[in-house]
Amino acid sequence: MDGRDDACKKVTGGSSRMVALLLVQFAVSAMLVACGGPTCTGNTREYNGQCLSGMAITYIECTKERGVDLTTKVGGKLGGTFKVVADASVEAAYEEQKRENTVVALQVVSDCLKIAETQADSAVDKSAAQESRNRADMIKQQVQETAHIEIAPSQAQVGESLSVSGRNFYPDETVAIYIHATLIKQEKADSQGAFSTTIIVPKDAPPPGFSTVVRASGETSVKSARVPFERLP
């Protein structure tokens, strides 16, 4: 009995040591994976701690070569689908345009999205690149074009309403509407940089016979447009 017990103890002890060794090896492997970055699958590979498609990496590298570093501007969205990355980069370029008053970032994003389209892994990614590029081009065009407004009618009495519409402001920006120097209303432009609203002629509008205007001013773009208006008796 004693001999068998000793043998069992040796086997049990050996098994315990083997299990412990395997656990250590597993822990070391896990640490190496954690230190070396994520384990990427499919058509993705590791890039700055994220698993990205070759298309996304080509796009990001393209923008970096042209002076727009999306890895810092887009942040945590890099790990998303290509559409998420592309949409976020357009918005980042738009924000930079508003700060720097230049369309360079938008142009870079547009150019690199066009290049990325050629490496699309699927029709979905290709469509996402096209849609984001179209939005970047649209914003760039709006930024460069002069704001414009229209009113109807061009003459009205105090208390009467005027319809006011505008275009070529920045997408989603707040537009302040004035009669002469009096702020009448604030309206938010849509994603195309356009708005349409109604205002009421106030009592303190310039008197009849006084030459004045209805004016709209973009809060972010500082674009301004005006049209003649006359208060009726």
- Which tens digits make up the pLDDT trace of 205-224? 999 988 899 999 999 888 89
Dihedral sign for Cα 75, 81, 84, 88, please: positive
- pLDDT higher for 148 or 30? 148
Encoded tokens for 53: 């498609």
Residue extents of the structural domains in the chain:
44-144, 148-231
Strands (E), 180-233: 182-188, 195-200, 212-218, 224-231
165: pLDDT confidence band, cut at 50, 70 and 90? very high
232: pLDDT confidence band, cut at 50, 70 and 90? very high
Helix (H) or strand (E) holding 131: helix 123-144
For the CA atoms of 103, 104, 110, 113, the dihedral, rounded to the nearest 10 degrees, stands at -150
Does domain 148-231 fall under CATH 2.60.120.340? My reply is no
**In this predicted model, what pLDDT tens digit does every residue of 66-106 receive, in sequence order?**
888 877 767 666 666 888 888 888 888 888 877 776 788 89
3-state secondary structure of 51: strand
Q: Which residue do the tokens 């890099």 mark? A: 78
**In this predicted model, what pLDDT tens digit does every residue of 41-63 receive, in sequence order?**
777 788 777 778 888 888 888 98
Average pLDDT over residues 192-205: 93
Q: Which residue do the tokens 């009205």 mark? A: 156
